[in-house]
Amino acid sequence: MASDLRDQLLRDGFVRIPSALSADQVEALRSACQHVAHLARTGGWPYVRTLPKQFPPWTSDVSKGIWGVQHLMHPELPHHDTFASSYFAPYIVAAVTEILQCSSEDLVLELYNLLIRPDADFALRWHRDDIGPEVSPQDELNRLREPMLHAQWNLALYPDESLIVVPGSHLRSRTEEERQADPFDDNMPGQMAVKMNPGDIIFYNNNILHRGVYRSEAERMTLHGSMGVVGADPARARNVLQHGIGAWVEDCDFSEIQGQAAGKQLCSLADGMRKRLVAMGSDQVLSFSQPLDE
Ligand X SMILES: O=C(O)CCC(=O)C(=O)O
Contacts with ligand X by CB under 6 A lie at: 115, 124, 129, 154, 162-163, 210, 212
Run of H or E including 76: none
What's the burial of 30, exposed, middle or buried (CB within 10 Å: 0-12/13-18/19+)?
middle
Shortest spacing between CB 149 and ligand X, in angstroms: 18
Q: 69 - beta bridge partners?
A: 48, 114
293 binds Fe ion per the rule CB under 5 A: no
> In this complex, which beta carbon is closest to ligand X, that of residue 214 or of residue 254?
214
Q: Which does 32 bind (CB under 5 to 8 A by kind): Fe ion, ligand X, none?
A: none
Residue 166, binding choice from ligand X, Fe ion, none, Cβ under 5 to 8 Å by partner class: none
Q: Residue 138 Cβ, how far from Fe ion at the closest point, in Å?
A: 23
CB of 124 to Fe ion, least distance (A): 7
Query: Considering the complex, what minimum distance in angstroms separates the CB of residue 213 from ligand X?
Result: 9
Give dist(CA 76, CA 104) in Å, integer.
27
d(CA 127, CA 143): 14
115 binds, among ligand X, Fe ion, none (CB under 5 to 8 A by kind): ligand X
Which is nearer to ligand X, 32 or 221 (by Cβ)?
Answer: 221
Least Å distance, CB 99 to ligand X, is 18
- Residue 209 C-beta: closest distance to ligand X, Å: 11
Residue 228: beta bridge partners? 108, 150
Which option in ligand X, Fe ion, none does residue 219 bind, with CB closer than 5 to 8 A by kind?
none
Of 148 and 213, nearer to ligand X (C-beta) is: 213
Choose, by CB under 5 A, the member of 119, 129, 130, 219 that binds Fe ion: 129
Site for Fe ion contains 130 (CB under 5 A) = no
Stretch of residues binding Fe ion (CB under 5 A), selected from 125-133, 161-169, 190-198, 264-272: 125-133
Transcribe 188-247 into DSSP letters.
Answer: -TT-EE--B-TT-EEEE-TTSSEEEEE-TTS--EEEEEEEEETT--HHHHHHHHTTTGGG
Burial (CB count within 10 angstroms: exposed 0-12, middle 13-18, buried 19+), residue 1: exposed
Residue nearest to ligand X (CB): 212
Distance from C-alpha of 145 to C-alpha of 154, rounded to nearest angstrom: 23
Amino acid letter, 285:
V
